[in-house]
Amino acid sequence: MHFIWDGLKQAADLLAHGDHDVLTVVGTTLRLALISTLLALALGLPLGLALGLGRFRGRRAMLALANAGMGLPPVVVGLVVGLLLFRGAPLGDLNLLYTFNGIVLAQTLLALPLVAALSAAAMQALPGGLLEQARAFGASRAQVATLALREARVGVLAATIAALGSALAEVGAIVLVGGNIEGQTQTLASAVLVQVSAGEYGRAIALGSILLGLILILAAGLTVAQQHERRALLGRPS
């Protein structure tokens, strides 16, 4: 198992010496994760509010679809998005295939059900009388939605962690839509795949170690924020 230790040492050397290729891949990975997560939150939180608090025909079916979407095979999503982006396809004129914006689109679609389903579950877990009391005091829909998001912020942070983790670890959709182009659409996860295919196991372990480190750092930061908010909610007078 000495090659694992060698890979860890190589990871430290790559970061310490500022390896250009590695820094480029890390930058692409972080940009993809942050942009796709923000887009998924912008689209998924309103949807989660509607599914968690709304009362309209088809809500249960949409909620079931959102829950099912959390288990979507990324490679299938990548295949469908890739086919839609080919020249002559419905979205071919957007010229997003094998581009950074294309992988952002694919990853946003993967993260969207996570945000929608988890935020909807957080909304449904709110005390039943809380929002009714706000409505009774004349709160508008926007004010009720803001109150719900604030009170369900622990669950919203959980959705954020899930979306961010999905983006950092994704491979299948990135390769199919982005082409895994070095310096443009290659992420840490897809770079590991390339190194393994080339038999460069030491460098693969090094890149994998860097990826795991990023996931741990970002997830730990969000978890600390989540638990801080949870303690604030538990310690608040009722």
CB 146 within 8 A of CB 46: no
How do residues 124-177 score in pLDDT, each as one tens digit? 888 877 777 877 777 778 888 888 888 888 889 889 989 999 999 999 999 999
Q: What is the pLDDT of residue 235?
A: 60
The pLDDT, as a whole number, for residue 234 is 60
* Domain CATH code at residue 135: 1.10.3720.10
User: Is residue 1 predicted with pLDDT exceeding 70?
Assistant: no
Q: Does residue 238 surpass a pLDDT of 60?
A: no
Closest-CA residue to 134 (of 113, 148, 120): 148
- Range of the structural domain that residue 186 is part of: 2-234
Predicted pLDDT of residue 85: 95
Residue 50 C-beta-side C-alpha neighbours within 13 Å: 14
d(CA 167, CA 173) in angstroms, rounded, equals: 10
Q: 81-116 pLDDT, tens per residue?
A: 999 999 889 999 999 999 999 999 999 999 999 999
The number of domains in the chain is 1
Does pTM surpass 0.75?
yes
